[in-house]
Amino acid sequence: MTPAVDGLRVARAGPLALLQDAGRFGVRRLGVTQGGPVDLHGWAWANHLVGNAWGTPALEVTFGGLELVAERDLVLAVAGANLSATLEGEPLAGWRSLSVKAGQRLAFGAPVNGLRAYLAVAGGFAAEPVLGSVACVVREGLGGHDGKGHRLAEGDTLQVTPCRTSAGSEAPREARVDYRGPAELALLPGAQISEFSGASLFRAFNADWRVDDRADRMGVRLTGPRLHCRMTSMISEGIGLGAVQVPPDGQPIALLNDRQTIGGYPRLGALTPLACSRLAQCLPGQEVRLKAVSTEQALAAYRRFRAGFA
């Protein structure tokens, strides 16, 4: 096994930069959540562009403000949101791989298109797995570059696994998402959907919703017409990725990767993994719409997505 070496040093820490592999699975019975990239699409493309296998750890950068200095020559790629990334002060092209020389500085600025960018290096970032994964969950103090669930801080060094590869790979145009317009989010109806009034169901799938400023890796609150559910109480049950809960105020909450493992609010159903990815790139105030899809439609879309990274 190739030993890890110093790859990138943090010269300035942004508000939230976390190391994420595909996620932590098989431990939710212990109350431990999933973690992993909230935008699976951007994370997967960043890794793919530098030749990494599915599941290789990459860096999730939220909002920007992060500056990194290369400790050695690297091949890297940035995908997902446009956070005004620069290399030595010059604009850095997203959705493609490029070479970086030792001593060069990579910086992420203000969001232009989307909210979260993904940085992958050829060979992958290296960290000690915790419960089978390096996925960083700050709330639980698990994973990340130090194994303790910490976001990157000034002076931290990211380890990499050296790998010989060439730069120049580029994502096709259809893979590059424009995150700025209204987002259509595919939702699998289910759970307690029959307990909602007919008028509420009509509003749920025909109204424009807005992303609230109460949004993070745990979940995103949507504001719009009030939804009414006939259930007044229920026993808490397991919560999967994308579950859309409706608390008593009638405003839905879509739960993402760092969600709690159980919940007691009625659910309209669940967003598909790719819909979660799209929602995770929405800024506060952005419009979204819910679109009901069948299990067959959701599986077909996800299989097409994964086939591109086989």
Q: Concatenated DSSP letters for 75-111? A: EEEEEEEE---EETTEEPPSSEEEEE-TT-EEE--S-
Q: Is the separation of the CB atoms in 228 and 197 below 8 Å?
A: yes
The string of DSSP letters for 235-278 reads: --EE--TTEEE--TT---EEE-TT--SEE-S-EEEEE-HHHHHH
pLDDT of residue 191: 82
For the stretch 172-179, contacts whose Cβ atoms lie closer than 8 Å and that sit 24 or more positions apart, written own/partner, are 175/41, 175/45, 175/95, 176/94, 176/95, 177/41, 177/42, 177/114, 177/278, 177/281, 178/113, 179/81, 179/113, 179/114, 179/115, 179/278, 179/281, 179/282
Predicted local distance difference test score (pLDDT) of residue 152: 98
Residue 19 and residue 144 in contact, taking contact as beta carbons nearer than 8 Å: yes
Q: Residue 72: what pLDDT?
A: 97
Task: Give pLDDT tens digits for 188-230.
Answer: 998 899 999 999 999 999 999 999 999 999 999 999 999 999 9
How many other CB atoms are found less than 10 A from the CB of residue 260? 13
Structure-token match 């919703």, residue found = 209
What 3-state class would DSSP assign to 212?
strand
Identify the CA nearest to 226 among candidates 203, 245, 243, 195: 203
Q: Are 36 and 23 in contact (CB under 8 A)?
A: yes
Q: What confidence category does residue 280 fall into, taking pLDDT thresholds of 50, 70 and 90?
A: very high
Predicted local confidence at residue 58, as pLDDT: 98
Q: State mean pLDDT over 160-165.
A: 90
Give the residue-averaged pLDDT of 249-268: 96
Cβ pair 176, 255 in contact under 8 A: no
6, β-bridge pairs: 159
The mean per-residue pLDDT over the stretch 72-85 comes to 98
Length of the chain equals 310
**pLDDT over threshold 90, residue 162:** no
Average pLDDT over residues 228-254: 94
CA distance 108 to 6: 20
Is the CB of residue 225 less than 8 Å from the CB of residue 305?
Answer: no
What's the rounded mean pLDDT across residues 124-135?
97
pLDDT reported for residue 6: 93
